Amino acid sequence: MSLPRRYLLRTFGLTVIGTQLLPIAQTNRTPKNIIKPRRLQVGDTVALINPAAFNYKKEVEPFFQVLENLGLKVKLGEHFYDRYGYLAGQDTARAADVNAAFADSSVQAIFTGMGGWGCNRILPLLDYNMLRNNPKIIMGFSDITALLLAIHAQTNMITFHGPLGVSSWSPFTINYVKQVLFDGASVTMENTRSVKIETIGSGKARGKLLGGNLSVLAAMIGSAYLPEWEKSILFVEEVGEEVYRIDRMLTQLKLAGILDKISGFVFGQCTKCDAEKPQESLTLAQVLSDHIRPLRIPAWYGSMVGHIQDKFTLPIGLEVEIDADSGTIRLLESAVN
């Protein structure tokens, strides 16, 4: 995700809210059984870490009240307020906070403060064996996509594409966080009436839900940190990218063989993705039609996923059913134990 977009996070209602030696990642995908983390309960402690870009204290401080209202206590990562250029500290420090949060028995879940850029840099520094043995909820979106996909790919743990600490924790957003992370409900994600969907390919499909930010996902292609895509449901979202760049990234997914393997496709919101010269550009609808319609799979555009105020909490790695005509994502089981 390009650096300027960390500042866009501050403009779309998203402002509400000692370094150790680290192991080289083991990238063998041995686990096959899905690992579900323990559900959240009132009184739990959540670790708040910054594995990507830095944020200012004033941006994240309102989130502490959100956590208190949810009945949660917060434990800041040791390097949470570090800064190294546009990053929240050196790679080793940011990775240390991820590893430490999973290893800490007093922490029941892990939330992330900021997106931006930086998670790809720390993927080789995470102790995936330790993470697998200490499953916990970890949630975020935007650049955190890299962390969520890598942890799932390496451990088969369910991870969660949901709000950041600096997100606008609206009642809609909080409701889905509660249903998915606290209640363990097999909830159906459905847009509000004011947010319309556009069907690309009609029908229903079932599969493992995978995805996140499109540019982050595209940047991971060729690495050992992506999951298997066979018969999966791919969801993507984007911010601050012109239509031709969306075209380029979807083409990259096509050339990598990913699009040919999926059973269903959901494009969330593309915030600030208008072309500078609309008269010389394809529309986003045309690009999505060019890439997705030939796949002959259920697909739609406009789900409430992305750099927007109201957003779903999506479990990465969980079996779901999508309905491209109604624009719904139905969890087929609880995402937490």
Just list the catalytic residues. Answer: 142, 237, 307
Tokens read off for 252: 């990259």
Q: At what angle do helices 284-292 and 243-255 cross, to 10 degrees?
A: 10
Residue 38, number of CB atoms within 10 A of its CB: 14
Query: Which amino acid, residue 245?
Result: R
Contacts of 197 (CB under 8 A, 6+ apart): 191, 300, 301, 302, 303, 327
What is the spatial order of strands in the sheet that 204-213 belongs to? 188-190, 328-331, 319-323, 204-213, 232-239, 264-271, 299-301, 198-201
Per the DSSP assignment, residues forming a β-bridge with 190 are 328
**Beta bridge pairs of residue 238:** 270
The answer to whether 279 and 247 have CB atoms below 8 angstroms apart is no
Name, in order, each residue with C-beta under 8 angstroms of 223's C-beta and a sequence gap of 6 or more.
Answer: 123
- Rounded to 5 degrees, φ, ψ at 243 are -60, -40
The DSSP string of 23-57 is PPPP------S-BPPPPP-TT-EEEEE-SSB---H
Two tokens, residue 37: 């983390």
Alpha helices per DSSP H over the chain? 5-8, 57-69, 91-103, 119-122, 128-133, 145-155, 171-177, 214-220, 243-255, 284-292
Joined tokens for residue 171: 């009642």
